[in-house]
Each structure stands twice: as structure tokens, then as C-alpha cells.
Structure 1
Amino acid sequence: MEFIRQTEVIQWVDGECRKIKENSVDDEYTYLFIDYLPPRKFSTYPVDLKDFAVGYCLGEGLIKDYSDIESITLDGTNILVSTNLNHDPEEDLEQEGIVQERKGNCEHACVCRLLEYQGVNSDNAGGIRSELKTIEPNRSDLRVSATQIIRDIQHLTDEAKIWQKTAGVHVAQLKYEDNIIIREDVSRHVAVDKVIGAAAKAGYDFSKCYISYSGRMPADMLIKVIRVGIPIIISNASPASSGIDVARSGNITMVGFVRDNRFTVFTAPERIDFEK
């Protein structure tokens, strides 16, 4: 099912006006409930939501492996995830730098703080994103050729069906050997979560995978990639300096500005075969 809405609009071209029908993404709010943690709110293109839930949990370090998930249930656009780790709200309080003491006004203040940020959007509707306290360099020996990078971005564009109809979504593509997974979403984070989740469900070796996607590459995107162990990220857009710093620390190969027949490698160039 495609969540696309058609609206009658006025288009102006070279001084002439005309009425046309324009497609737009019919995005919806999605709430993600993980064990006993507060709900997390996202604006999504509401398909492949189970893939998103798995990818989000992996990218945020809430699980170490797909097998940590006991069940995923969809109730409309609400996603209920049960893990064998039984997370509780204190973990989120610790992430926010809040120490919960179970006495007097402090407990009341902490509960109020929890309620304040339940369902609050951040990172362009990417939900609550956690920091990475330590970075282990990625040791993957995966290599990709220069010509393959160009082909990957072209394939990403060719297969972006919702983007072609609306220009209102981001597209992510994960490649593992001869297997390719493509997902689209209004949030670049959620699009990447979806391909990571689908790959985890398929049992792919993340050290042999790489991601191509449409969107900037700031630190929070690189943190997700580092957590799951993917060594290469490719985009037709630019990196942020924070993303470059994290990629360098994590020995992640970051390729940006893939356009026409050119690209720029910002970190770990040894994984790129420039001769092909």
C-alpha cells in the first residue's frame, strides 16, 4: 500500500499558471514502545515498521543482536517491542543525565522530567537519540570500487519509487554481497533504521555490508553505523564536521557528494578501490 495523497495545486512556470494535481507523502506519527521505556515519537512513511523497530533498537544500542527481541506487534502505527533485556525508564533518565533518587521531591521531579520528553521529536523527527560513550574502530576489510559507488547511487535513485512520485522521502540502500535492501521514509534516520533492521532479520554480516542513502551525514548517523558494525557509508549529500570526526574515530569510510561521475572520500580511503 502506498501512502500518497494527491492535491490540486497551482503551478507557475515561465510566467504562466496552471492547475495540476501534485503527489505528496501521507506521513503519520508512529509511536515506538520498547519494554518499559517511555514511548518514542517519529514522523514516518508508515510501511516496513517492523524493520524500523529492529534497526532503531540496534542503532541505539538497546539490543546487541536481533535475537534479543522477543516480539514486535503493530497496532496501527504504534509499534510494541518486547526484548529479553527488559529496559526500564531509569535507563533513559541516565541517558538524559538525571539521577533518580527514590525519595521526596527528587523522585517527583524525575517523573515530571520523564513526562516532559515522552514522545518529543529530535533529530528531524528521528526520536530520542543516545550518545556513544566509547568508539571502537571498525576493522572490516570490505572494499568497494569507485565505479560501484557511482552505480549504487544511480540504483538508489532508479529504485526510489515513492521519491519519484513525491520527492518527499529519503532513500536508504544496504548492500550485502549480491543482496540489496531499499527502504524509503520521510526521515533519513528512519530510512536507515529500516534497512539495518531488514538486514538484521535476514542474518546479514554487517561487517560485509555498506549503506548508500540520500541525506547529510552528521554524528548521530555515524553513531548508528558504528554501533551495528557497518564499515562504509555513502551519500549524495554532504557530511557535517561532527560526522567526519566520529567516522575518523570509528575508522568508518565516509563518501559524500556522489553526483554524476564524481565523489569525495572523507575518511578511511583504504576501503575504496580507485582504479575501478
Structure 2
Amino acid sequence: MDFIRQTDVIRWEDGNYEIIKENSVDDEYTYLFIDYLPPRKFSTYPKDLKDFAVGYCLGEGLIKDYSDINSIELDGTNVLVSTKLSHDPEEDLEQEGIVQERKGNCEHACVCRLLEYQGVNSDNAGGIRSELKTIEPNTSDLKIDATQIIKDIQHLTDEAKIWQKTAGVHVAQLKYEDKIIIREDVSRHVAVDKVIGAAAKEGYDFSKCYISYSGRMPADMLIKVIRVGIPIIISNAAPASSGIDVANAGNITMVGFVRDNRFTVYTSPERINLENR
């Protein structure tokens, strides 16, 4: 089922106008319930929500891998996730600095158990950029050809079916060897969560995967891929300076502005075979 709505609109062009039917994406609120944590609210394109839940939990450091999930249930657009780690609300309070961590005489209010799983919380969960020093650089030896980057973005565009109908979603693509996963969503974060979650369910080795997607590349997006161990991220859009800083800290190869037959490599260029024509 495609969540697409048709609306009668007026199109004006060169002094003339006409009434036509225009497609728009039917976005809905999704609430993500994880163990005993307060629910998270997202605006989503309500498909592949189980993939989203898995990818979100991985990207936020709430689980180490897919095996940490006991169950995922859908109740309409609400997603109920049970993990082996049974997170509780105090973790969220600790992230916000409300609860002081007393173990080990730690002086920082924002230290919480989530840091055990990879170190840094992404911005869309109240993350802390000051903890970037805890990131271990990605050591993946994955390498891709320059021409493949152009092909990947073209494939992304060709397969973005909802985007083609509405121009109202982002699209993300994860590639692992000869396997490709594509997901779309109104949020670029959720689209990336969906491909990460789908890949985790298939047991893909993230150190041999890379992501192409539509949308900017700020710190919170880079932290997401760092957490799961993906070494390369590619976009047709621009990075933010915060994203470049995080990519450098995590030794992530960041490629942006993929347009026509060109692109820009911002960090860790050794993973790109630039001589390939």
C-alpha cells in the first residue's frame, strides 16, 4: 500500500493556469515505545516501521545488535519494542543532566548506561557532542570506485518510487556486496534508520556496507553510522561542519554534492578509488 493522497491544485505556468490533481505523501505520526522509556514521536511515511525501529535502536546505541531485540509489535503506526536490556526512564533523565551519575565518582551529569554501547548520543535524542572523544575510529578497509558513487546515486533516484510520485520524501540506499536495500521516508533520519534496520535483520556486516541517501549530513547523521560501524556515507547534498568534524573523529568517508558526473570527498578519501574512470 502506498500512502499517497491526491489533491486538486492550481498550477500556474507562464501566465496560464489549470486545475490538476497532485500527489502528496500521506505522512503520519509514529510513536516508538522502547522498553520502559518514554515514547519517541516521529513524523514518518508509515511503511517499514519495524525496520525503522531496529535501525533507530542501533543508531541511538540502545542495542548492540539485532539479537538484543526480544520483540517488535505494530499497533497502527505505533511501534512497541522490547529489548533484552530493558531500558528505564532514568536513562533519559540522565541524558538530560537531571539525574547525577554517582557510580565511580563521576562528576558529569549526562553520563548514562547508553555510553556503554558506543559512546555518543546523537542530537535527535538529546546527544552530547562533547563526548566525541569517546568514538573509536572506523578501521574498515572497504573501498569503492569513484564511478560507482555516480551509479549509486542514479540508482537511488531511479528506485525512489514514492519520491517520483510525490517529491515529498527522502530516500536511503544501503549496499552490501551485491545486495541493495532501499527505503523512503519523509525524514532523512528515519529513511537511514530503515535501511540500517533492514540490513541488521539480514545479518549484514556493517563494516562492508555503505549508505547513499538524499539530504544534508550533519553530526547526528554521522553519529548514527559511526555507532553501527558503517565506513562510508554518500549524499547528493551538502555536509554541515559538525558532520565533517564527526566524520573526521570517526574516520568515516564522507562524500557529498554528488551531481551529474562529479562529487566532493570531505574526509577519509583512501576508501575511494579516485583513479577509476
The TM-score with structure 1 as length reference comes to 0.90
Please, what is the CA RMSD of the aligned residues? 1.4
* 2:44 equivalent to 1:44: yes
The letter for the 1-side match of 2:238 is S
Q: Deviation at 1:99?
A: 1.3
1:36 and 1:88 map into 2 onto residues whose CA distance is 5
Structure 2 equivalent of residue 3 of structure 1: 3
Aligned residue type for 1:65: D
What is the identity, as a one-letter code, of the residue corresponding to 1:5? R
- 1:170 lines up with 2:170 in the alignment: yes
Answer yes or no: is the 8 Å Cα contact 2:60–2:125 preserved in 1.
no
Cα distance in structure 2, aligned partners of 1:203 and 1:131 = 29
Q: 2:159 is matched with which residue?
A: 159
8 Å CA contact 1:40, 1:127 repeated in 2:
no
Aligned counterparts of 1:47 and 1:128: Cα–Cα separation in 2: 22
Percent identity, aligned pairs only, is 85
* Residue aligned with 2:149, SS: helix
In the other structure, the counterpart of 1:269 is 269
Contact 2:35-2:82 within 8 A present in 1 as well: yes
In the other structure, the counterpart of 1:215 is 215
> What is the alpha-carbon distance in structure 2 between the residues aligned to residue 206 and residue 243 of structure 1?
20
The structural deviation recorded for 1:143 is 0.3
Match of 1:146 in 2: 146
Shift of 1:127: 5.5
TM-score (ref. length: structure 2)? 0.89
Secondary structure (helix, strand or coil) at the match of 1:41 reads strand
Residue aligning to 1:106: none
Q: Corresponding residue for 2:114?
A: none
Q: 2:125 aligns with which of 108, 125, 128?
A: 128
Supply the distance in 2 between the matched residues of 1:59 and 1:11 (Cα, whole angstroms). Answer: 41
Q: Is the Cα contact below 8 Å between 1:93 and 1:100 reproduced in 2? A: no
The 1-side partners of 2:6 and 2:268 are apart by 44
- Segments of structure 1 that go 5 or more residues without pairing to the other structure are 102-122
How many residue pairs get matched?
Answer: 253
Q: AA paired with 1:16? A: N
Supply the AA of the counterpart residue of 1:128: A
Distance 1:171 1:137, change over 3 A: same
What's the counterpart of residue 106 of structure 2? Answer: none
Q: Is the 8 A contact 2:95 2:126 kept in 1?
A: no
SS in 2 for 1:147: helix
**In the alignment, structure 1 residue 27 sits paired with structure 2 residue 30:** no
Unaligned 5+ residue runs, structure 2? 102-121
Q: Give the secondary structure class of the aligned counterpart of 1:184.
A: strand
Q: Work out whether 1:244 is the aligned partner of 2:244.
A: yes
Deviations 1:6-30 (A, max 9, x none): 0000000011010000000000000
User: How far does residue 130 in structure 1 lie from its aligned partner after superposition?
Assistant: 3.1
Does residue 80 (structure 1) correspond to residue 80 (structure 2)? The answer is: yes
Separation in structure 1 between the aligned mates of residue 44 and residue 185 of structure 2, nearest angstrom = 6
Q: How does 1:107-122 map to 2 (within 5 A)?
A: none
Aligned to 2:108: none
State the 4+ residue runs in structure 1 displaced beyond 2 angstroms: 126-133
Deviation at 1:129, TM superposition (A): 4.8
